Amino acid sequence: MSKKQTYRVCFCCRRRFKLAISEAPAEIKTLFERYSENGFMNAVHLQRFLIEVQKQEKATEAEAQAIIDSLKQLNIFHRGGLYLDGFFKYLFSDANLPLSPSLGVHHDMSLPLSHYFIYTGHNSYLTGNQLSSDCSDEPIIHALKRGVRVIELDIWPNATKDNVDVLHGRTLTTPVELIKCLRSIKQHAFDVSEYPVVITLEDHLTPNLQAKVAQMVTQTFGDTLFYPGSEVLKEFPPPESLKKRIIISTKPPKEFLQAKEPKEKEDDLQKEKALGDEEAWGKEVPSQKCGAMADYQDSEDEDDEEDDLDDEADKSNQNAAPEYRALIAIHAGKPKGGLDECLQVDPDKVRRLSLSEQQLEKAAETHGKDIVRFTQRNILRVYPKGTRITSSNYNPMIGWMHGAQMVAFNMQGHGRSLWLMQGMFKANGGCGYVKKPDFLLKTGPNNEVFDPKAVLPVKTTLKVTVYMGEGWYNDFNHTHFDQFSPPDFYARVGIAGVPADNVMRKTKTIEDSWLPSWNEEFEFPLTVPELAVFRIEVHEYDMSEKDDFAGQTCLPVSELRDGIRSVPLCSRKGDGYNTVKLLMRFEFC
Question: What mean pLDDT value characterizes the chain?
Answer: 88
pLDDT at 298 over 60: no
pLDDT of residue 303: 46
pLDDT of residue 132: 95
pLDDT of residue 4: 72
The CA distance from 384 to 207, in Å, is 29
Q: Which residues contact 519 (CB under 8 A, 6 or more apart)?
A: 25, 26, 27, 465, 466, 467, 468
pLDDT at 314 over 70: no
Mean pLDDT of the 81-95 span = 94
Q: How confident is the model at residue 302 (pLDDT cuts 50, 70, 90)?
A: very low
CA dihedral 176, 180, 186, 188 (to 10 degrees): -70
Residue 235 carries which side chain, given as an amino acid letter?
Answer: E
**pTM for this structure?**
0.90
Q: What is the pLDDT of residues 247-293, one digit of tens each?
A: 999 987 754 444 444 444 445 455 554 444 444 345 576 655 443 33
The CA distance from 513 to 69, in Å, is 32
Nearest to 391 by CA among 135, 41, 29, 71: 135
Q: Please give the share of the chain, as a percent, with pLDDT higher than 70.
A: 85
Provide the annotated active-site residues: 122, 168
Q: What is the pLDDT of residues 120-132, one digit of tens each?
A: 999 999 999 999 9
The CA distance from 116 to 441, in Å, is 10
3-state DSSP helix/strand/coil percent for the chain, to nearest 5? 25, 25, 45
More confident of the two residues 75 and 490: 490
DSSP string, 418-457: HHHHHHHTTSGGG-SEEEPPGGGT---TTS----TT----
pLDDT at 461 over 50: yes
| β-strand partners of 448 | none
pLDDT of residue 12: 65
Length of the chain: 589
Q: How confident is the model at residue 335 (pLDDT cuts 50, 70, 90)?
A: confident
pLDDT at 245 over 80: yes
Instruction: Please answer whether residues 500 and 529 qualify as being in contact, where contact means their C-beta atoms are separated by less than 8 angstroms.
Output: no
The pairing of beta strand 4-10 with beta strand 13-18: antiparallel
Q: For residue 33, how many C-alpha atoms fall within 13 Å in the half-sphere facing its CB? A: 7
3-state SS, residue 326: coil
